[in-house]
Amino acid sequence: MSGALDQALKLLNRKALSRAELEKLLTSSREYSPEEVQSAIEKCCKIGFLNDRLMAEDYAKTLEERNISNRLMRRKLAERKLSEYADQAISELFSTELERAQNALAFKLRLLAREKDPRKKREKALRFLLSRGFSLSVAAEAYRTALNAAEDTAEYDADDIINDNI
């Protein structure tokens, strides 16, 4: 095995890398010729250790669990040199952007439970969603949905109390 291939396998063993990331790491060491680097990358692809499409899908699923927007996902995939596969990877996710915004907001609203001023609470919640890359329309829709769910729960609780006392 060539030194470039050994190094490539060591790098891939530590962390999933895109083809471009692996190429950059191997060429930055200046120990290997461009031909050795390309040969090592081709061998890694051939044996299945390097697949940008699958990596983009896995990374998108990891980002989905963090409840971030499609826009921020695209940017993070581009940072990993996977923008070519971003749209396909995002389209295959289980949750929609609105669902991820609602999940993120549910977490944030638990932290904002002590905030008494409804205007401040709304502003903090919307800023939180905007910081995760959600558009204002998605953030506002998620907040409206959360508000409606809270009102429905409050009405249900009030009805239970009234019915229990009758």
- What is the chain's pLDDT, residue by residue, as a tens digit (166 residues)? 578 899 999 999 999 999 999 999 999 877 888 899 999 999 999 999 999 999 999 999 999 999 999 999 999 999 999 999 999 999 998 889 999 999 999 999 999 989 899 899 999 999 999 999 999 999 999 999 988 887 655 444 444 444 454 4
**Vertex 18: Cα angle to 12 and 23 (nearest 5):** 80
Q: Answer yes or no: do 127 and 161 share one domain.
A: yes
Q: Answer yes or no: do 107 and 143 share one domain.
A: yes
Q: What is the pLDDT of residue 151?
A: 67
Q: Answer yes or no: do 17 and 65 share one domain.
A: no
Q: What is the pLDDT of residue 2?
A: 73
Give the residue carrying structure tokens 């609105």.
Answer: 98
Q: What is the pLDDT of residue 160?
A: 46
Q: Answer yes or no: do 156 and 101 share one domain.
A: yes
Q: Answer yes or no: do 113 and 79 share one domain.
A: no
Q: Answer yes or no: do 161 and 101 share one domain.
A: yes
Contact 79, 18 (CB under 8 A): no
- Please state the pTM of the whole predicted model: 0.78
Q: What is the pLDDT of residue 73?
A: 95
Q: What is the pLDDT of residue 143?
A: 93
Q: Answer yes or no: do 125 and 77 share one domain.
A: no
Q: What is the pLDDT of residue 148?
A: 85
Contact 110, 78 (CB under 8 A): no
Q: What is the pLDDT of residue 132?
A: 93
Q: Answer yes or no: do 161 and 123 share one domain.
A: yes
Q: What is the pLDDT of residue 3?
A: 85
**Whole-number Å distance between alpha carbons of 34 and 24:** 11
Q: Answer yes or no: do 42 and 74 share one domain.
A: no
Total number of domains in the chain: 3
Q: Answer yes or no: do 118 and 158 share one domain.
A: yes
Residues in the chain: 166
Q: Answer yes or no: do 56 and 116 share one domain.
A: no
Q: What is the pLDDT of residue 70?
A: 94
Q: Answer yes or no: do 76 and 106 share one domain.
A: no
Domain boundaries, position 10: 3-46
Give the residue carrying structure tokens 């953030």.
Answer: 139
CATH for 12 = 1.10.10
